[in-house]
Amino acid sequence: MPALLSFPNPVNEKTARSVAGGVLILAIVALATQWLWLSAVLAAGFLLRVASGPRFSPLGQLASRVIAPRLGEPKLVPGPPKRFAQAVGFTVTTAAAVAWFAFSSALATNVLLGLIVVAAGLESIGGLCLGCVGFGYLMRAGVIPPETCEACNDISRRYRQTA
């Protein structure tokens, strides 16, 4: 069971950005149509990706099997920050779903989905993963132990990898 529910490390950056593009599209559709129930679909996708990377996520499968291979050679990045980013996405979209289904608050759901649009847009279009940035700050603050991500902790490894 542990192998089944494991997150890949390293992660193909092109797959991560493709997944973020799908999340961006779904969140924009939810906001444009006011189909705020899509916040629950987004939350379920994030949960599946937190639990096992792209293995059980339809969006993760599309990104890893169809989209990313067409974008050229994989660009490998550490997995733990990407998993953290998925967990943040899960938290925000779950809060959006709760706001919609439990409290019928379109305003709160729209604001939370707006945050997802910003984060997914930065990741998919600009290559800036806000969850990964937050992960780095938490590592430097000592909240996340260094052994959680050896590659994140030792920047010289990144230079050796690109050389």
pTM of the entire predicted model:
0.91
Range of the domain at 63: 11-162
Position 4 in a domain? no
Q: How many domains does the chain have?
A: 1
Position 6 in a domain? no
**pLDDT per residue as tens digits for the range 99-152:** 999 999 999 999 999 999 999 999 999 999 999 999 999 999 999 998 988 888
Both tokens of 45, joined, read 């996708």
Nearest of 85, 89, 98 to residue 37 by alpha carbon: 98
Position 120 in a domain? yes
How much of the chain exceeds pLDDT 70, in percent? 93
Query: Which pLDDT score, from 0 to 100, does residue 160 have?
Result: 53
Position 38 in a domain? yes
Give the amino acid at 105.
Answer: S
